[in-house]
Structure formats: structure tokens, C-alpha cells
Structure 1
Amino acid sequence: MKIRKPQPQAATSLDRAPRDDESHRMRTYLLTMGVRTLCLVLMVAVVPYGWYTFVFALGAVVLPYIAVVVANAAQSTQVTHAQAPERPALPAAPTQPEPTTPGVFRISESTADGAENDERDDRA
């Protein structure tokens, strides 16, 4: 059985920034209201009147409602299960085996001329 490692949470799974969401909704609203204004102008300007006049009128009446509903609907990309970020496990530091026998340290004193002072060892 293969154990799945938890993947870190991607930055793309975060919500859209409020500033970006607002500018997107504003552009959508202005585009829809521009189409509505075009429908109003075409409804009056296109002569002879016919079935398309009613289509333009319907667009001029319905598009404001659609524009407001779409502009007020925030982009909902919320992550339902956010993952807690985990740090990758670092490899264990290599350990050196402990010596089985204690080491012996020898300390010898020497005089200023570099010769060892054996007299002290005999007196003590």
C-alpha cells in the first residue's frame, strides 16, 4: 500500500484578492450596461420596426437586472478544505559511533628551551 504524502497548499487555491474581484465585477457591469445602452439606441434607430425592435427592447429592460446581479455576485473560489502548510522533514544528522574504550590523554610539560622537565615527575 502506497502512502500519499500531503502536498503543500498551492497559492492558486487561495481566494481572489478583493481588489481584483472588485475590478472584474466593475468591468462586467460596465460591459453589460454598454450593451444595454446599445440596445436602447438600436431600438429607436433601426427603422422599419419589426421583431428585432422587441428583442432590443427586451435587452434594454432585462440587462440592468442581469448587470446588477452579476456585479453583486462575488467570485466564490473558496477552498473547502485548506491544507496546513508542512515543512519538509530534514534528513537526520549523521551520528558518529561512540568509542568503546576511553581514550588516554598524555600531558607533558616542557621548559622554555623545549626540553622536558623530568625532575618534577620524580619529586611528586
Structure 2
Amino acid sequence: MAKQQQQSITSLPRSPQDDRRSRMIQYTVAMSIRTVCILLCLVVPGWWRLLPAIGAIVLPYIAVVLANASISKPAAEVLRPGGLVRRAPDVPGPDPR
């Protein structure tokens, strides 16, 4: 009989809720940085204002791409259990005492 490999919890993919939560956190961080860039546009003088303006323009695209990219690793093949084995029910016999 071939020995079956046991399924490990670490070989399973991340749950959809965990994946969605991590992507939402990444998106929120990127949009917070964009907000800081917009505020910096109000206080930075001269041509230096161009740097936070570029950040405020480019960050939404990067945030959406990162939020839509699923980070889950490729799932390992899920092992299927073998067939059921029928056995006779245990019948109580005479007491061996």
C-alpha cells in the first residue's frame, strides 16, 4: 500500500478574508501617503512642489494595482482520501474471565 503524504496547514492558501484584509491595508497606506503628498503640495515652495505632485498623481494607480494583485502563493495539490474500508462491527463476545 502506498504511503499517503499528509496535508499540512502551511501548504494551504490564505483565506479570502485574510487576503482581502491585507490588500485593504496596503491600499489604505498608499492613499494615506497620497494625502500627505497633497498636503505637501500646499506647503513646499518652488519647483520642489513637483515631487509631491507627481506622487499624488501616480500613487492612486500604484495603489489600485497593488490592491487588485492577489498575494496568495500557489496552492499545493490537495490530497484526496482513499476509499472507505468496510469492516465487521465489533460484537461483544463471552467474558474471558
- TM-score norm. by structure 2 comes to 0.70
| 1:19 paired to 2:55 | no
Whole-Å Cα distance in 2 between the matches of residues 20 and 76 of structure 1?
A: 10
Alpha-carbon distance, 1:34 to partner:
0.3
The 4+ residue runs of structure 1 with deviation greater than 6 A are: none
Q: Which has the larger radius of gyration?
A: 1
RMSD: 2.0
- Which of 28, 31, 34 matches 1:33? 31
Confirm or deny: 8 A CA contact 1:8 1:83 kept in the other structure. Answer: no
More helix per residue: 1 or 2?
2
Tell me the percent identity.
43
For structure 1, list consecutive stretches of 5 or more residues without a partner in the other structure. Answer: 88-124
Number of aligned residues:
80
- TM-score norm. by structure 1 comes to 0.56
Q: Secondary structure at the match of 2:61?
A: helix
Change (3 A) 1:23 1:83: closer
Q: Secondary structure at the match of 2:72?
A: coil
Q: How does 1:28-107 map to 2 (within 5 A)?
A: 28-47=26-45, 49-50=46-47, 52-79=48-75, 81-84=76-79
